[in-house]
Structure 1
């Protein structure tokens, strides 16, 4: 046994040495790659950022389909660092996990229902992320309009003003305007670049701002005074939206609490009376009753959300 101590220590030290040499070789190779990119770049240093995306083959095939193109546009609007292929795989994994969890915790009858709920939840999550990012962008519109007005009044071109606003504003306005500036830099028209921006983040305020900029760019005119007036209007709408959201917060919580009570009742029933869900869903009348109850909960959720939605 003692004869194995020294070989073990030697092999451990050798592995540690090889690990240190590997880390050093990787880091030095990464630095050399960055220096090579900087030398080959005519516009200055290139920052290598981001991460390596997974499922590249699936992502390429998915992007060729109509569903993949719509999914790519929706993911771009959410600001998530996900490709359509990654999102598709993660959603399938979530559906499978919820299906198995519902089948094991409740009954096998609830497995497909949990899978459908997972699909609905994935789409709802994307819509919520896009709405959240759009609202953050809307809150930055008054400052964006003010920056554009000041830059235009100083004699800068509209394209230069947009690039300057992209550098000064935080995300998501800075990211979206940087994309618009890159589109303009490669020769895309101002109407098309701003139209893509309005399509990614649909809102009335952004449509008004885009229309003002496009019309001013086409016909000339007093873009400074238009942006000044638009800034005041956007500030007022921002405060109004904040007040309405605060007043309707209780209604929004109620919309999510009602289905939660139904799910909690099912779990409580299965805990108090083990096997009750098995007996209930074993017959066709019990399955029909469960489906009707879920449909009624869904209708109640949609109705409450519709009643709490106020267009400003």
Structure 2
């Protein structure tokens, strides 16, 4: 067994044990912690405990304006990580990818390619989780409105109707309304708790619903009738959006394949035969070829996304 292979195995095992240790450290809880998790203050307590580990990292990245955006994306994806933890995971995967790529291929470029994949990978996962949760929320929205309308017509107040939604609806809507109920028990008004939910879910239709609730609280009127009208409109929009996604599915898949294929193929060739790929990066004019190729791939991806972006 060569020394390079031994080093690669050692690095992989070390990274694995590091992440296992972090996971076990965050998962440890005593009987007291279990009782605390059942209290209304559980979310704040857990968040403070985790931030103690990553507060230095968060101070560093607090200077960047993207921090608030990343925090919103983590909330929308329902990933229970702080910003510092997420950034540390990306940095760890990036360093591990660079070391493995450098040792396996023997070239700096191989390490850079795997480092890029290590940095981009968590972001792709975050986006997939956020889109998956947003889609599930969007599909549950009409049923949630019907349940609210039925509860209001039965004589329940808005807070009690939200509690019914929490008990009857599955995740993500059931979980989000559970947070609304918990915030009201901590002293927030129902309007403030719903505004916080709008920020978390980032759904325009739900924002419209909350706005209608605010207006009804100010001017009065039948909230059940207003929500019933909004429910019909949202159902029609969801059906139209579904038709559009079906019609553009092939184009979206083609765009993803065409965008990722060159990078995936270059990574595979770099690992199999690095000398073949390195010919494109020799000093001289030949370096223009991969540079132009990357620029054209990025521009093509932007154009395809804009062509398939249809607002409803």
TM range (shorter): 0.7 to 0.9
Aligned to 2:190: 190
- Indicate the structure (1 or 2) with the bigger Cα radius of gyration: 1
| Of 229-238 and 172-181, the range deviating more from structure 2 | 229-238
Q: Is residue 2:203 matched to residue 1:203?
A: yes
Aligned counterpart for 1:59 among listed residues 54, 60, 68: 54
- Inter-partner Cα distance in structure 2 for 1:298 and 1:160: 50
- CA deviation map 1:192-242 (0-9, x unaligned): 222221222222211211111121122221111111112222222221121
Classify 1:73/1:203 alpha carbon distance in 2 versus 1 (closer, same or farther; 3 Å).
closer
- CA deviation map 1:149-201 (0-9, x unaligned): 11111111111111221111100001111111111222213332222212222
- CA deviation map 1:227-265 (0-9, x unaligned): 111222222222112111111111111111113331354
The question of whether the paired residues in 2 share the 8 Å contact of 1:190 and 1:214 is answered with no
- CA deviation map 1:62-117 (0-9, x unaligned): 45536555433321110123333332222112212332344333831353354345
- Inter-partner Cα distance in structure 1 for 2:132 and 2:224: 30
Q: Is residue 2:83 matched to residue 1:88?
A: no
Alignment RMSD (CA, Å): 3.3
- Inter-partner Cα distance in structure 1 for 2:130 and 2:33: 34
Q: Structure 2: any 5+ residue segments left out of the alignment?
A: 1-28
Q: Please report the TM-score for the alignment, with normalisation by the length of structure 2.
A: 0.75
Classify 1:200/1:145 alpha carbon distance in 2 versus 1 (closer, same or farther; 3 Å).
same
SS in 2 for 1:109: helix
Aligned to 1:79: 78
Quick one: higher RCO (CA 8 Å, sep 6+), 1 or 2? 2
Q: Please report the TM-score for the alignment, with normalisation by the length of structure 1.
A: 0.75
SS in 1 for 2:160: helix
Report 1:117-128 matches (<5 A): 117-128=117-128
Q: Structure 1: any 5+ residue segments left out of the alignment?
A: 1-28
- Inter-partner Cα distance in structure 2 for 1:253 and 1:177: 34
Aligned residues: 276
